[in-house]
A and B are shown apart, each in its own frame.
Chain A
Amino acid sequence: MTETRMNAAASGRMASTRRAGAALAAIALSLTAGTAQAQDYPERPIEMVVTFGPGGGADLMGRTMAQLLEEPLGVSIPVSNVAGASGNAGLTRLRTNPADGYTIGTLISLTVASWASGLGDNAPEDFRVISVVQSSPSFLFVPASSPHQSAEALFEHAKTNPVTVATSGYGTQDDVTLKLLADAGITMENVPFQAPAERYASPIGGHTMAIYEEPGDVAQFIEAGQLVPLVVFAAERHPAFPDVPTSAELGVDISGLDNYRSIAVPSGTPEDRVAILEDAVAQAVQSEEWQAFCEKTYTCIEPVTGEAAQAMVGDFRDLIAEQLSQ
């Protein structure tokens, strides 16, 4: 599987010289066929299905990526927002469109987590993940006016008093994190806000005591000093926030629940087209614009592709399902 993909990936640029002997002729034949096919793809606009409405993290990623993919692919890439059912409506569109490489879409961890609570009829096998391009751990933030300006102080307070945390809902990564904290004796009240804007406003307005969020989504509030990061739920400290301790340092090891965003196509898309897309995404991620974008949203990662990316999606769904069923 991986072997064929690598072959196809190389076909557009340089002939594979690893193989030799009797198979050479056959390989050469398959390579020319591959190149011929590669040249007539793409020949018309590729639709980018963004699985959420305009204005959110997935939308920004999809639109930025679409813009940067236009140059390497040489066709226009119109974005269509297909929102609904935690991103599943868009994925259904992606899955049911012809698997010819002319429809690509965003697949993000929030939607994968929703599969664990039974939403949609999509499964990891329905999609071929081209590349996971963004990922970020989540933090607990408190407003600048909070009396608890360190994680220790907040956790200590939570042991004897009610502490309210603004989250995106029950049954999400946010909920799982709070449950794991509660298991360790740090009980916090989950206050779900469906609308992101209201979620961000609630700690700033003093209506909730803290907020669970990835830093990119509240970047403007961090820069303005309105929200202060207390703790990161990851195995290592975040390079952009070297002074913020990990939860493991505070005695509660919570990690592996990072928010990631990927570009995917329906499974069954021809391998050579997947390879062309993977190549284009790799070029886009290398670009200065993308680096500036991911730096601003604290989401820069080394892109994850192929089997590893596919496994990331499947494992994540299983992890959330396991945590929620406890």
Chain B
Amino acid sequence: MAEPSVRRRFVPTLLPAGLLVLALILPGRMFSRDQSADVVGLGPAAWPGAMLLALAVLSAIWVARDLWALRRPGSEPLLAPVREEEPYAMGKALAGLVMIVVYGWLLSVIGFALASALFIAGWCVFGGVRNPLVLVPVTLIGTVALLWLFMGLALMPLPRGQGVFDGFSIWLLQLTGIY
């Protein structure tokens, strides 16, 4: 009983450990092309180099402190996972994150209008709004209102998608009188 809970408690220590590794690797990967040797002043690498060094030192202290805490009973690691006041549906949260990432990817492929309509509808269904009399108007009116406000009024060039979707977006924009 005690063993797994100790392990769980130290999951947050993975963060400084990861940051330490990152801070040690990144200085070598700062530039993707050769730098000329003679620069005036400190050069472009000085500031990020110094900050990565600071990050490495601070994360190392953190890891050391947490390992020290591990050996002493009654000591706690620096970070403790938050306790929610209400039950937290982890699966639902992860699915939500996936939906958001997919939405971001779809934006450039099928365009803002289609992707947003799909996303709004999907999120509502997933979040418990399933009555079609609510869902359909919210999705359609919402999307058209957003299009009209941001592409029509604010003249933002939101992504129209690629290939056939570009054609569809142009048709939609002409239909709604924005183009």
Q: Does A242 contact B (CB under 8 A)?
A: no
Q: How far is the CB of A77 from chain B (nearest CB, A)?
A: 10
| Interface flags, A64-83, vs B, CB<8A=1, else 0 | 00000000000010111000
Q: A76 to B177: give the CA distance in the assembly, Å.
A: 13
* Residues of chain A with a CB closer than 8 A to B4's CB: none
| Interface flags, A182-217, vs B, CB<8A=1, else 0 | 000000001000000000000000000000000000
Q: Which of B33, B157, B166, B173 contacts A47 (CB 8 A)?
A: B157
A44 x B166 contact (CB < 8 A): no
* Residues of chain B with a CB closer than 8 A to A225's CB: none
| Interface flags, A271-292, vs B, CB<8A=1, else 0 | 0000000000000000000000
B40 x A45 contact (CB < 8 A): no
* Residues of chain A with a CB closer than 8 A to B40's CB: 170, 190
* Residues of chain A with a CB closer than 8 A to B93's CB: none
Near A by CB (< 8 A), chain B positions 150-179 give 155-157, 166, 170, 173-174, 179
Q: A98 to B170: give the CA distance in the assembly, Å.
A: 13
Q: A79 to B154: give the CA distance in the assembly, Å.
A: 10
Interface of B is mostly: loop
Q: A224 to B174: give the CA distance in the assembly, Å.
A: 49
A80 x B174 contact (CB < 8 A): no
| Interface flags, A88-118, vs B, CB<8A=1, else 0 | 0000000000100000000000000000001
A44 x B157 contact (CB < 8 A): no
Near B by CB (< 8 A), chain A positions 31-49 give 44-45, 47
* Residues of chain B with a CB closer than 8 A to A80's CB: 155-157
Q: A190 to B39: give the CA distance in the assembly, Å.
A: 12
Q: How far is the CB of B151 from chain A (nearest CB, A)?
A: 9
Chain B's closest residue to A102 (CB) is B170
Most chain A C-beta atoms within 10 Å of own C-beta, residue among B33, B40, B157? B157
A78 x B157 contact (CB < 8 A): yes
Q: A98 to B161: give the CA distance in the assembly, Å.
A: 11
Chain A's closest residue to B173 (CB) is A44
Q: Which of A44, A78, A79 contacts B170 (CB 8 A)?
A: A44
Can you name 14 A-B residue pairings with CB atoms under 8 Å?
A44-B170, A44-B174, A44-B179, A47-B157, A76-B155, A78-B155, A78-B157, A80-B155, A80-B156, A80-B157, A98-B166, A118-B33, A170-B39, A170-B40
Given contacts A44-B173, A44-B179, A118-B33, could you give 15 more A-B pairs where the C-beta distance is less than 8 Å?
A44-B170, A44-B174, A45-B179, A47-B157, A76-B155, A78-B155, A78-B157, A79-B155, A80-B155, A80-B156, A80-B157, A98-B166, A170-B39, A170-B40, A190-B40
